A and B are shown apart, each in its own frame.
Chain A
Amino acid sequence: MTPNPPRVAARTVNAGFVACLEPMLRRRQLLAASITTVPAFLVLSGCAGPDPLAGPPPLSPDVRGLLAAVTAETNLVFLYNECISVYSGLAPTLRPLLAEHEAHLAQLRSRIIEPPGKSVPTKPSARPRVTGSQQGAVTSLSAAERSAVTANLHRLLAAAPDLAQLYASIAASEATHVTALAGLHQ
């Protein structure tokens, strides 16, 4: 499958800056303005322009959602790898599900242009130890999948339509994983 809509931009155009110029400049004046006169005009007119010391602009809600989704998928990939390394007998069932989480992660990452001052996570935020029993490991995976379903269903409510569909599809995939994992309990 290839959900392939446009990437989400990390920052938005400074609309206030443009609006500040519009009432004062006619088109011909703008065309005549040189690279040296425009800064002088900005100073005289009181337009501050972007403040380089103000720090990076705030992240859009879609970028914040994507970063959270990337972190969640990275954690799931870590947990699957841990379970496979500790209980190799589970590998035939878990590897296909792991591959799908890696596909989710790649698709989520492809939607983000790395925002200024904020890097896209590459490492898990949690590294739970897989101990106890094989059944316990499967239970942990099921719980993690259920949490991921819930988080994606919540995330899609306010997201852009293309992202909402991606989150919904990932949630549906994770719901099928819960069923696949339930088969390991039987």
Chain B
Amino acid sequence: MSTAVADAAAVTALQGALAAENAAVYGYGIVGSMLSGGEQAAATTDWKLHQEARDTLDAMISKLGATPAPANAVYGLPFPVTNANAARQLAAALEEGVTRAYLGLVAVTDPTLRAFGALAMQPPAQRAVTWRGTTTAFPGFPESGT
């Protein structure tokens, strides 16, 4: 694989992770508004962590000579979020989306980016477990339902 092709693949994977982080930053605003007390504080902490991760990805994409894709003004939610239980489910879904996006980075050829993706998917996988209450065998891969 040529360097240009490898860089293009890396930028595409990084933009995918950035899009997931932007969606998480947006989504946690809704999550936090539906929670209270310690759970709201946890949502605020997670919201800040996603902002930091977004800034890291912005810098990585810029360093490769590309322009980070901007966040959308509004994101469609996967389901209506009208109570605390739905907010917890949304938080878990946001974390699963971020985990999946970082897993995409693991498929690139650059070992440094691979290692980054593999390490970066662990915190959202952990947070998904916290919000969902159960572990999964293959974080980042879609559920088979079987």
In the complex, 22 of the A-B residue pairs with CB atoms within 8 angstroms, ordered by the A residue number, are A1-B143, A96-B134, A100-B136, A156-B114, A157-B111, A161-B106, A161-B107, A161-B108, A165-B140, A165-B141, A169-B121, A171-B122, A172-B99, A172-B121, A172-B139, A173-B137, A175-B125, A176-B126, A176-B129, A177-B135, A179-B129, A180-B129
Q: Is B117 engaged at the interface, CB distance under 8 Å to the other chain?
A: yes
Tally of contact residues, A, Cβ under 8 A: 31
Give Cα A176 to B121, complex, Å. Answer: 11
Q: How far is the CB of A134 from chain B (nearest CB, A)?
A: 20
Give Cα A146 to B36, complex, Å. Answer: 34
Whether the Cβ atoms of B141 and A2 lie closer than 8 Å is yes
Give Cα A172 to B117, complex, Å. Answer: 11
Q: Is B14 engaged at the interface, CB distance under 8 Å to the other chain?
A: no
Interface string of A94-112 (1 = CB under 8 A from B): 0011011001100100000
Q: Is B138 engaged at the interface, CB distance under 8 Å to the other chain?
A: yes
Whether the Cβ atoms of A153 and B139 lie closer than 8 Å is no
Give Cα A168 to B122, complex, Å. Answer: 9
Minimum-distance CB pairs A-B, first 4: A161-B107, A100-B137, A168-B118, A103-B137
